[in-house]
Amino acid sequence: MTRYTDRRVLVTGGGSGIGQACVLRILDEGGRVVATDISEAGLKDTVSKAPSAEGRLSTVVMDVGEEASVTAGVAEAVGLLGGLDTLINAAGILRSARLEQTTLSDFEQVLRVNLVGTFLTIREAIPALRNGDGPAVVNFSSTSAEFAHPYMSAYAASKGGILSMTHTLALEFAKDGIRFNCVQPGSISSGMTDGTGQARQSVGPGLPDDADYSLFGRLQPMLAIDGGAMFADPSAVASVVAMLGSPDAFFVTGTEVRVDGGTHM
């Protein structure tokens, strides 16, 4: 499949997990990609997994939670690509705790990275997207935006905000021809679910020691996962993201696609 040939793509959170899977999928489809992440080591790992990218992959260290970093990082990415056609906002963090034990600092940090970071990246990318070829933005919401996930109030709030913002921006920029959609992953293996992610962009869930696991009984995927694993491979989301960010989805905007194996039927 070569639907990304000559297409210029920026992927945030591209140093691990689903973000990295998106980078690799789009490279496989012929795209030119700039991957950003707060973790330089994570970006080096992504590069090592794309040996056949043939100069089509560049990396930029960027902290989506810091305005100055986003302003400089997006500008550098657009310069490297010579423009921008697709923006994928995959960067994010997760903090899990009982509400009464959640600090204001942790709550604000989750919103800062997930919600504000998505806003900042889009804002800085809009001028380039306006001049892009079939421009598209794919944001990362979550199944937690619409369904109860215990101990994740800050994360759910941030992802609900991204969902609402996606709808708003789809209407605001429709006449500019920029499509806005989002994915809602659930039961997907990533740095946030297995605790192996890099630095601030991917932090394990750290459920409370006294967590009531019976509350998670309704959060099981209906589709079987290879090997009996608890979480599906990030490629399950990357394939959907690649579709939404490509010309194949030319008549799709202002909506969300749930990728959760039927957990939330």
- DSSP one-letter code for 232: B
Task: Please tell me the distance from the alpha carbon of residue 140 to that of residue 170, in angstroms, as a whole number.
Answer: 14
Rama region for 7: left / alpha / beta (φ>0; ψ in -120 to 50; rest):
beta
Position 190 pLDDT exceeds 80 = no
Catalytic residue selected from 4, 151, 155, 213: 155
- Over residues 54-72, the pLDDT tens digits come to 899 999 999 999 999 999 9
Position 201 pLDDT exceeds 50 = no
Greater model confidence, 258 or 197: 258
DSSP 40-72: HHHHHHHHHT-TT-TT-EEEEE--TTSHHHHHH
pLDDT at 60: 98
Position 179 pLDDT exceeds 90 = yes
Q: Which residues pair with 37 in a beta bridge?
A: 61
> Catalytic site residue 213?
no
* Structure token digits, residue 232: 């599906």
* Mean pLDDT for the stretch of residues 215-226: 64
Domains defined for the chain, CATH in brackets = 8-257 (3.40.50.720)
Task: Please tell me the distance from the alpha carbon of residue 264 to that of residue 63, in angstroms, as a whole number.
Answer: 32
pTM of full prediction above 0.85: yes
Task: Please tell me the distance from the alpha carbon of residue 14 to that of residue 4, in angstroms, as a whole number.
Answer: 17
Q: CB of 16 within 8 A of CB of 202?
A: yes
- Over residues 76-119, the pLDDT tens digits come to 999 999 999 999 999 999 888 888 888 999 999 999 999 999 99
Greater model confidence, 204 or 140: 140
pLDDT at 131: 98
Task: Please tell me the distance from the alpha carbon of residue 223 to that of residue 206, in angstroms, as a whole number.
Answer: 26
Position 204 pLDDT exceeds 50 = no
Which amino acid is it at 14?
A: G
What interhelical angle do 67-81 and 117-130 show, nearest 10? 30
pLDDT at 196: 40
